[in-house]
Amino acid sequence: MCGIWALFGSDDCLSVQCLSAMKIAHRGPDAFRFENVNGYTNCCFGFHRLAVVDPLFGMQPIRVKKYPYLWLCYNGEIYNHQKLQRHFEFEYQTKVDGEIILHLYDKGGIEQTVCMLDGVFAFILLDTANKKVFLGRDTYGVRPLFKAMTEDGFLAVCSEAKGLINLKHSTAPFLKVEPFLPGHYEVLDLKPNGKVASVEMVKYHHCRDEPLHATYDSVEKLFPGFELETVKSNLRMLFDNAIKKRLMTDRRIGCLLSGGLDSSLVAATLLKQLKEAQVRYPFQTFAIGMEDSPDLLAARKVANHIGSEHHEVLFNSEEGIQVLDEVIFSLETYDITTVRASVGMYLISKYIRKNTDSVVIFSGEGSDELTQGYIYFHKAPSPEKAGEESERLLKELYLFDVLRADRTTAAHGLELRVPFLDHRFCSYYLSLPPDLRIPKNGIEKHLLRETFEDSNLLPKEILWRPKEAFSDGITSVKNSWFRILQDYIEHQVSDAMMATAAEKFPFNTPKTKEGYYYRQIFERHYPGRADWLTHYWMPRVIYFQQYGDSSKNKNRAAI
C-alpha cells in the first residue's frame, strides 16, 4: 500500500504542484520521492512508500538498467511475480513484485501485462522510447486511482482525489477529477511538449472470466463438474490459495475480526497458513465495538477458538460522532451506508497503527457481494437475477465497500488484503450454477457456510451466525449506532434545511437528515465534487420493496 502521483504536461511550477502530492503522505509513511522525467521538464512522478516488500530497493518510480526508457509507479501487490519470473526466466534487478510489470510489458505489450497480473494494483507506466503513457487498475478497484485530464493534454494521476483537486492549470480553473475505472487500462500518446492524448480505454477483465494468469497458477487442478462435494472441495482449495499467496510481505500480518462469517473464515485460515509457513510472531486479531456489542462477544469466541493474540478496542458514541469529519475527509464520499460503516474501521485502524507493529491487515471485504450475503437476495425473483445483482455489486465495490476498506486503513498507513476478491476464487464462484449460490433455508451465504462446515475452522455457532452488520454489530445491544447517529443529527439538521435540500444539493439530493449532514461535511472538504459518487448504495428496488431504508438493510446483511 503506497501513494502514487504523476503529472504530464503541467504548465505551472512543478515545485508548487508537488505540494499536492503531500496530501496522500499517509499512504506511505516510510519514505517519499519526487522525480522529474528526463527530457520532459513539465512531467514528474511522486511516490509515498509503505515498505512491505524489499525494503532496500523498493523506492519508486521503478527503473531498471535493462529498460532505461521505462518508468513505473504502482500501488499494490503482484502475488504471482515470482512464478512469472521463473516461468519466463526474467532477470530481476530488485526483489520488488512490481518489477514484473516492466518485464511483461517489454515481452508482450500492455494488454498481456495487465491480464497476467494476479493481485491488486493501480499503476502509471511511462515508455519514453515509444512515447506512450499507460494507466491500469485491478479488476475490483481494490487499489484506488484517480485522474484529471484537460482538453489541451495535461494529465494528473493520483491514488486519492485529494492529491489532485488543488492542482493549477491555465486552461482549467476547476480541474475535473474522476475515478479511473477498475478492470481497465488506458493508452495515451506522449507528445514532445509533455502533454498527452488518449488513444484507447480498454476493459481487460470481467469478474466472471477465469483470468489469463490462471494458466501459471500453482494451485492444484480443479475437479470438474458441479456436484456439491466437488464444488465445496474446489472452493476450499481456492480460498486456501487466496490466503496463502497474500502472505507475501516483509512486515507483520494481522487481521480484522468482527466475529461474523467472512472475517472469521479469513482469520482462521490465515492463522493455519502462518503456522505452516512457520512465522514466529504471534498472530494478532482486532475487534472493535461499544460495551456489550455482539461483534466483540463473537470475535472473542473466534479468537479463543483459533488461538490468536486478540485485541479489543472499545469506543463510545461521542468518539464515533467526533471522528465523522475525519472519516468523510479520508473517504472522499458522502454515501450514507459507507460513512456509517467506516467509523469503526477507521478507529480500529488508528489503534493498530498506534499500538502494534502489524502493518499488513487482512479483512473479509467482498464476500457479501460475491456470495449473496445481503438479506434482500431472499427477494430475488430468480437465481439468475440474483446472480446478475451479485455481479453488479462487485462492479460497484470501488465506490462503496472497497473504497471504505482502503481509505480507513490507508489513512493510518496500513495495507489491507482482501482474499475473498481473489481473481480465481471469484471467477470460479461466479461460474457455479445460479441455484447453488442463492440463499437457502432462510440463510444467506449457505454454500459458503456449508463448504467449511466439516473443517473445524470455526465454532458452529459462528459458522452459522446470523449477520450483525459492521455498523450495527459494533454497537451496544441497548442502542444501535444507527439510532445514536439519528438522535445526534436530529439536532444538527433542521426541517427548514431539509426543505431546501434540493436547491442546495441538486445532484444526489439527500433524502434524510443523516444524508444531509454527511453531504455538508463532504462539501466543506470537496466543494463541487459531488459527482465522485454517481449514486447512493442501493439494492435493485425489485428485490427490495418490503424492506424500507436501503442503508439500514445493508447493515442487516450477512457478514
| CATH number (domain holding residue 50) | 3.60.20.10
Of the candidates 369, 412, 410, the one whose C-alpha atom is nearest the C-alpha of residue 393 is 369
Residue 474 has pLDDT above 90, yes or no: no
Residue 546 confidence (pLDDT): 47
Confidence band (pLDDT; 50, 70, 90) for 477?
low
Residue 223 has pLDDT above 60, yes or no: yes
Higher-confidence residue: 208 or 142? 142
Q: Is 292 annotated as a binding residue?
A: no
- Give the single-character DSSP code of 24: G
Mean pLDDT over all residues of the chain?
92
pLDDT in tens, 230-242: 999 999 999 999 9
Residues 54 and 125 in one domain: yes
Residues 236 and 302 in one domain: yes
Report the domain count for the chain. 2
**Active-site option among 2, 44, 158, 207:** 2
Q: How many DSSP H helices and E strands does the chain contain?
A: 22, 17
277 part of a folded domain: yes
Higher-confidence residue: 147 or 48? 147
What is the number of alpha carbons within 13 Å of residue 328 lying toward its C-beta?
A: 26
List of residues 6+ apart from 3 with CB closer than 8 A: 21, 24, 25, 26, 27, 28, 46, 47, 48, 75, 158, 159, 160, 163, 410
Higher-confidence residue: 551 or 38? 38
Q: Is 97 annotated as a binding residue?
A: yes
492 part of a folded domain: no
Residues 223 and 194 in one domain: no
494 part of a folded domain: no
pLDDT in tens, 49-89: 877 776 667 778 999 999 999 999 999 999 999 999 999 99
54 part of a folded domain: yes
Domain stops at, among 424, 445, 476: 476
Specify the DSSP element, H or E, that contains 78: strand 67-78
Residues 444 and 356 in one domain: yes
Residue 469 has pLDDT above 80, yes or no: no
Phi, then psi, of 489 in degrees rounded to 5 = -70, -25
Residues 462 and 348 in one domain: yes
214 part of a folded domain: no
Residues 174 and 257 in one domain: no
Q: At what angle do helices 324-331 and 401-410 cross, to 10 degrees?
A: 110
Q: Is 258 annotated as a binding residue?
A: no
| CATH number (domain holding residue 244) | 3.40.50.620
Q: By the 8 A CB rule, do 406 and 381 touch?
A: no
Average pLDDT over residues 29-57: 84
Residue 468 confidence (pLDDT): 54
Is 2 annotated in the active site?
yes
Domain stops at, among 432, 458, 476: 476
Task: Give the predicted TM-score (pTM) of the model.
Answer: 0.94
Residue 393 has pLDDT above 80, yes or no: yes
Higher-confidence residue: 456 or 475? 456
Residues 111 and 223 in one domain: no
Higher-confidence residue: 316 or 541? 316
Q: Which of 29-38, 47-56, 286-295, 430-439 has the lowest mean pLDDT?
A: 47-56
Domain stops at, among 476, 502, 523: 476
Q: By the 8 A CB rule, do 1 and 153 touch?
A: no
Q: Domain of residue 136: give its range.
A: 3-203
pLDDT in tens, 402-412: 999 999 999 99
Residues 242 and 162 in one domain: no
Residues 191 and 279 in one domain: no
List of residues 6+ apart from 274 with CB closer than 8 A: 247, 253, 283
Residue 353 has pLDDT above 80, yes or no: yes
**% of the chain surpassing 70 pLDDT:** 93
Residues 359 and 243 in one domain: yes
82 part of a folded domain: yes
Phi, then psi, of 351 in degrees rounded to 5 = -65, -45
Residues 468 and 353 in one domain: yes
Q: Is 288 annotated as a binding residue?
A: yes
Residues 112 and 231 in one domain: no
45 part of a folded domain: yes
- What is the rounded CA–CA span in Å between residue 367 and residue 269? 15
Q: Is 50 annotated as a binding residue?
A: no
Confidence band (pLDDT; 50, 70, 90) for 541?
low
209 part of a folded domain: no
